[in-house]
Amino acid sequence: MPTLRTRLRARLMAVADPARAPAMQAYMKSAMPFLGVAADPLRQTCKVAFAGLTYASADDWRGDVLALWGGAKFREERYAAIELSGVRAARPFQRFDALAMYEAMIVSGAWWDYVDPIATQRLWAVLCADPGPMKRAMRQWSHDDNLWKRRSAILCQLKAKHSTDVRLLFSCIEPSLGNKEFFLRKAIGWALRQYARTDPAEVRRYVRGHATVLSNLSRREALKRL
């Protein structure tokens, strides 16, 4: 893993624009510094750095992801850890026992740029693979004191389209309906707006039925494209 981490950092530094780093750090309100690598070069760099990786076990894969995550000195290295968590070689490991790793990343990351790709991509993959235990876990997360776990539960079906479990979606939204936290109100609106692409009538019905408890932000976001 030190070889992978060292190689990755060198590649990231090679494509970085240090002049951009202060603005990126300010925008994300990040205590961790940036190198100055934009999204597309970062993804391409990760693709090259992780090409050919194979894992004999889920433990080996999780070990590499958490080593990158925990050893990061720059925010882009944590983005790279999220990329590593989704490489082709990891597809067999996107099962319920990976949830503890994702939970650790969500709780320690505690900001939308980390949490959202994990919630909308990785948790969705686990939900598809192990729906029973994942649905129970997401319902538990929706009541958690940690707002990022709540946000993750609300957003975990963002890519589901016609496969959306509507009961799960609404049950994960419900505990946060009266919450004043911006990131939860925004997540509720985002999740409803996304599902409205599949079933606009159901989203309109839900918004009408919860008019007294939905925040203005959530309502506005939910109906934005209707």
Q: Give the tens place of pLDDT for each residue, 190-201.
A: 999 999 999 999
The residue segments making up the domain with residue 178 are 98-226
Task: With a cut of 60, say whether residue 1 has pLDDT above it.
Answer: no
Q: Same domain, yes or no, for 173 and 218?
A: yes
Q: Same domain, yes or no, for 141 and 203?
A: yes
Task: With a cut of 70, say whether residue 46 has pLDDT above it.
Answer: yes
Q: Same domain, yes or no, for 65 and 140?
A: no
| Band of residue 220 on the pLDDT scale cut at 50, 70, 90 | very high
Domain boundary among 93, 115, 138: 93
Q: Same domain, yes or no, for 41 and 82?
A: yes
Q: Could you tell me the CATH number of the domain that includes residue 167?
A: 1.25.10.90
Question: Mind listing the pLDDT tens digit for each residue in 54-85?
Answer: 999 999 999 999 999 999 999 999 999 999 99
What's 118's DSSP letter?
I
Q: In angstroms, how far apart are the furthest CA atoms of the chain?
A: 56
Reading the block at residue 60, the tokens are: 């080996």
What's 101's DSSP letter?
H
Q: Tell which phi-psi region holds residue 52, choosing left (phi > 0), alpha (psi between -120 and 50) or beta.
A: left
How far is residue 50's CA from residue 123's CA, in Å, rounded to a whole number?
21
Beta carbons within 8 Å of 218's beta carbon, 6+ residues apart: 177, 185, 186, 188, 189, 192
Report the percentage of the chain scoring pLDDT > 90.
95
Domain boundary among 44, 61, 93: 93
The tally of domains found in the chain comes to: 2
pTM for the model: 0.96
